[in-house]
Amino acid sequence: MRTVHHFIDGKAVAGTSGRFGDVFDPNTGAVQARVNLASVDEMNAAIASAAIAQKDWAAVNPQRRARVLFEFKRLVERDMDVLAALLSAEHGKVLADSRGDVQRGLEVIEFACGIPHLLKGDHTLGAGPGIDVFSMRVPLGVVAGITPFNFPAMIPMWMFGPAIACGNAFILKPSERDPSVPVKFAELMMEAGLPAGVLQVAHGDKDAVDAILDHPEIKAVSFVGSSDIAHYVYSRGTANAKRVQAMGGAKNHAIVLPDADMDQTVADLVGAAFGSAGERCMALPVVVPVGEGTAETLRSRLLPEIAKLRIGVSTDAQAHYGPVVSAAHKARIENYIQMGVDEGAELVVDGRGFTLQGHEGGFFVGPTFFDHVQPTARSYQEEIFGPVLQMVRADSFEAALALPSRHQYGNGVAIFTRNGPAARAFAANVEVGMVGINVPIPVPVAYHTFGGWKRSAFGNSNIHGPEGVRFYTKIKTVTQRWPSLNAGDGVIDSSFVIPTMK
């Protein structure tokens, strides 16, 4: 059976802990590989190696660092089909979605290729008599990323691209459920010219995470995962004086006003709710039609489109989505469906019990649709992270605005309308970090920044874009004065008060 090793000091390294995790094929339910799980000692050794490599890497000028990323981008594009197939085989998402996963990460690599410009500081000539002041952004040293199973290509690139461009060394702890693509990225970075040790990939579980959070050499940690774990990572990391950005769960809402383009809205809702089997933090699992007429129209239009959805293996080019990532996650989703029934919501479409002929052991969940869901329901308040769409009816714009604003999560939200003033008011007042106006999945482009509010994010820094560069660097400000070329000019006197610019 294939074993996924760590990638340390520029090469694959077999683990010494004696512990392994199973990597399943979600299409069949069979174990297809095992992955090394690092011990604390192994993590500490990887971090120590990265610290040595980082010093030389930081001395490389930003333009040459950018050239490595340019070449990495070319190599990833060259190997796109191989990477997508590997990703789909371990995650279960269909190939087209896997290509999108890789491509969206590459867009942040493209942004990071502009690092020579992004690292430029400020300069003031003549801030005082013969005094100039300038600032520079310098790398932190060794930083780390802990990434989730649902985007094993995109989110690692969101993190290590800017971090490495800024001159840091990076420790990547990917999800042990689908670990192979991150290792492949490390190999491609080496092929692109990155020095050994600058990007380390160490697999593991809580032991590895805690080693990252506790090690004094790690200066910053970026995390994406569930909110409970995000809070743990933020709390433990900041307690150890680290910078931490920790992105958590979501329960994104789609507000549908009566004047919405219903054809486009229905198409967007079906794709955003059920794409990638709902395993996206920016999925749209809740739809809020405003007014009974809007709700009845939307329901009547959604049902035939849901019925058309094709669930298949990840290599099925005709499938809209594939299996979920694990048997445990399938059981969790089905438990939430039963919870919704028990809470009194109307189960209009039940995806439980779905099987695919020839793949009866696969982790498949059919599309599920609830209507008349109450905001007090636990199944509404919590993240399901599966192909489940819940309809919560609102009788007014104000009531619809209040639902995402009052929810414990504040990652993304979308409004569908032709009414410009209503959309503007919604965007200005909704208590959510990322807003789409007639855009179902409002993930910002790479040169902006990604981050939610409330229990969707811990810390005060977002991922990628200018925020990412600021997160992975610190500012040094220099105030300089040069002695006069003519010796003896002026009077040299001691000052015992704080200097000011008179």
Active-site residues: which are they?
281
For 380-412, b where at least 16 C-beta lie within 10 A, e where not — what string?
beebbbbbbbbbbbbeebeebbbbbbebebbbb
For 160-191, b where at least 16 C-beta lie within 10 A, e where not — what string?
bbbbbbbbbbbbbbbbbbbbbbbbbbbbbbbe
Q: In this structure, which long-range contacts are made by residues 427-435, counting pairs with CB atoms below 8 Å and at least 24 apart in sequence? A: 429/401, 429/405, 430/401, 430/404, 430/405, 431/404, 431/405, 431/406, 432/404, 432/405, 433/457, 434/282
* Rounded (10°) angle between helices 95-112 and 62-78: 170
Map residue 135 onto helix, strand or coil.
strand
What torsion, rounded to 10 degrees, do the Cα atoms 376, 378, 384, 390 define? Answer: -30
Rounded Cα–Cα distance for residues 30 and 52 (Å): 41
Could you tell me the two tokens for 2? 């294939």
Rounded Cα–Cα distance for residues 219 and 103 (Å): 29
Rounded Cα–Cα distance for residues 8 and 45 (Å): 9
Quick one: which of 474, 502, 388, 500 has its CA closest to 121? 474
Residue pair 247/230 in contact (Cβ under 8 Å)? The answer is yes
